[in-house]
Amino acid sequence: QLLMEPFGADIDLAEAVLKDYNAHLVRKASSMKGHYADADALEKLIQQGDPLHYEVFEKAVPQETGHLQFGLSKLQPGTVGEEFFMTKGHYHEIPEAAEVYLCLRGKGYMLMKTTEGECRAEYMERGRVVYVPPYWAHRSVNVGDEPLITFYVYPGDAGHNYGDIEEEGFPKRIYKRGDKVEIL
């Protein structure tokens, strides 16, 4: 078989920064159309300069069976209307591909749902690991006032399926009510 060269990578754990990443995904507010309950508030945010919403930093590996993709996801703090900033969320194209998240910084929830309508919210803060089992779509939500940064690992060939999420969203949304967090 074709052997890949092993490699190491450094994460500054205090800052939660992956050094020497070679793949970088950026999503701004304008990538989030259709995802928030208050579409007008999102439109306003886009008009006001379309701020950075979240980024993914990776040490790229082949997107093939046997490999493991890993990297950092960094979600900015903020709200659209009263709804906390979140990622789009996705199923994996190979739906039985699971994923592990380790929270390095910030506070938030991993929202997970199934095509059958099950929905769970798992709390995340520094040091907490969330296991996303096979078949669960997953979306990160930042309920804090600093970036929510997680380290993730998932099968190399898993792929992303944004499927029904843009039309149907998740059964639960997470709102900022004063200084309270409400999961509805």
Residues engaged in binding ligand F6R (CB under 6 A): 56, 73, 87-90, 99, 138, 140, 152, 154, 160
- What residue has token string 């507010």? 29
If 0-12 CB within 10 Å is exposed, 13-18 middle and 19+ buried, where does residue 105 land?
buried
Q: Is 99 in the site for Zn ion (CB under 5 A)?
A: yes
Binding partner of residue 108 among Zn ion, ligand F6R, none, CB cut-off 5 to 8 Å per kind: none
Residue 22 identity: N
Closest contact distance (angstroms) between CB of 5 and ligand F6R is 24
Q: What are phi and psi of 161, to 5 degrees?
A: -125, 110
Q: Which C-beta is closer to ligand F6R: that of 2 or that of 31? A: 31
Closest contact distance (angstroms) between CB of 155 and ligand F6R is 9
Q: Which C-beta is closer to ligand F6R: that of 55 or that of 178? A: 55
- What residue has token string 């997107």? 63
Q: Which residues, 6 or more positions from 124, have their beta carbon under 8 angstroms from its beta carbon?
A: 101, 103, 106, 107, 108, 109, 110, 130, 140, 148, 150
- Which residue is at the shortest CB distance from ligand F6R? 73
Q: Which C-beta is closer to ligand F6R: that of 33 or that of 160? A: 160
Which residues contact Zn ion (rule: CB under 5 A)? 99
